[in-house]
């Protein structure tokens, strides 16, 4: 073979291409359904299937972030027995998703998010998650449908990364966000103009949801690390009402 050897980037794109697609092609079903079916048959009573297959937490993330960080973050931020919805595992990756995205409020992402009680935005080491169109739309849905929206990091006490997240949110503009499929961005921008009158309005909608999440996350980081200096920046009400988001 002739060519340049390059180190693979172990992100969700690689995991889906190398593992999820080969494992699920023969079943014509998403990975989560295949695994849940096995769990129900081996370890659960028959009447537990609804609980097992109904997501309590919707996971918002970027496929470009480190998969190792993604797993690490979910392990500390979500209880091990909690059923979560992750698009790469909950959707059959051999299927044609384009036909299911014509009505964004009825697409699989929206249905799963509306069913969930909480949205967890998994932020990688670069905070690039807030430059993704789908993440922005999911934050909008969370605020619109009154779902708890939390931003979580691989290391919750990483204050410098929290500052990076804050900077990204300050400059967030849906018009400048990216999507792996260009037509998805077109649909999302059209949705913003139709439902909110302008893209600028949805930008503020997203920032409001993310600001609240960032405030909760910063408080959690300060309390769990015992940083009194940072804790003084919060009101007495915020401190008294603090609880683990997990």
Look at residue 99 in the predicted model and tell me its pLDDT. 80
Look at residue 1 in the predicted model and tell me its pLDDT. 56
Helix (H) or strand (E) holding 160: helix 159-170
Q: Which residues contact 76 (CB under 8 A, 6 or more apart)?
A: 152, 156, 246
Percent of the chain with pLDDT over 90: 43
Structural domain of 54: 12-240
Structural domain contains residue 246: no
Structural domain contains residue 84: yes
11 backbone dihedrals φ, ψ, rounded to 5°: -115, -170
Q: What is the pLDDT of residues 186-203, one digit of tens each?
A: 999 999 999 888 888 888
Look at residue 41 in the predicted model and tell me its pLDDT. 57
**Euclidean distance between CA atoms 94 and 222, whole angstroms:** 43
Total domains present in the chain: 1
Structural domain contains residue 139: yes
Structural domain contains residue 5: no
Structural domain contains residue 6: no
- Tokens coding 233: 């920046």
Structural domain contains residue 3: no
The stretches in the chain having pLDDT less than 50 are: none
Alpha helices in the chain (DSSP H): 12-15, 21-24, 31-43, 49-53, 67-77, 87-90, 108-115, 133-144, 159-170, 182-196, 199-225, 228-231, 236-240
**Euclidean distance between CA atoms 87 and 102, whole angstroms:** 17
**Euclidean distance between CA atoms 88 and 18, whole angstroms:** 12
Structural domain contains residue 190: yes
Structural domain contains residue 4: no
Look at residue 143 in the predicted model and tell me its pLDDT. 87
Helix (H) or strand (E) holding 151: strand 148-152
C-beta separation of 74 from 84 below 8 A:
yes
């Amino acid at each position: 073979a002739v060519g340049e050897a390059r180190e693979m980037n172990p992100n969700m794109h690689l995991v889906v291409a190398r593992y999820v697609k080969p494992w699920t092609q023969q079943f014509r079903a998403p990975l989560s359904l295949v695994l849940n079916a096995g769990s129900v048959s081996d370890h659960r009573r028959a009447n537990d299937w609804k609980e097992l297959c109904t997501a309590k937490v919707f996971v918002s993330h970027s496929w470009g972030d480190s998969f190792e960080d993604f797993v690490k973050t979910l392990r500390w931020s979500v209880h091990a027995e909690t059923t979560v919805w992750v698009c790469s595992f909950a959707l059959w990756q051999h299927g044609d998703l384009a036909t299911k995205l014509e009505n964004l409020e009825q697409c699989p992402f929206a249905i799963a998010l509306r069913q969930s009680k909480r949205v967890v935005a998994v932020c990688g080491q670069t905070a690039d998650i807030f430059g993704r169109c789908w993440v922005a739309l999911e934050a909008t849905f969370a605020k619109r449908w009154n779902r708890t929206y939390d931003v979580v990091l691989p290391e919750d006490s990483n204050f410098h990364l929290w500052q990076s997240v804050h900077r990204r949110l300050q400059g967030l503009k849906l018009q400048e966000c990216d999507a792996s499929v260009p037509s998805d961005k077109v649909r999302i921008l059209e949705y913003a103009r139709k439902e909110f009158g302008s893209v600028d309005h949805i930008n503020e909608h997203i920032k409001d949801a993310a600001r609240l999440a960032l405030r909760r996350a910063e408080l959690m980081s300060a309390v769990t690390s015992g940083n009194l200096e940072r804790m003084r920046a919060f009101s007495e009400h915020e401190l008294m009402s603090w609880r683990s988001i997990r």
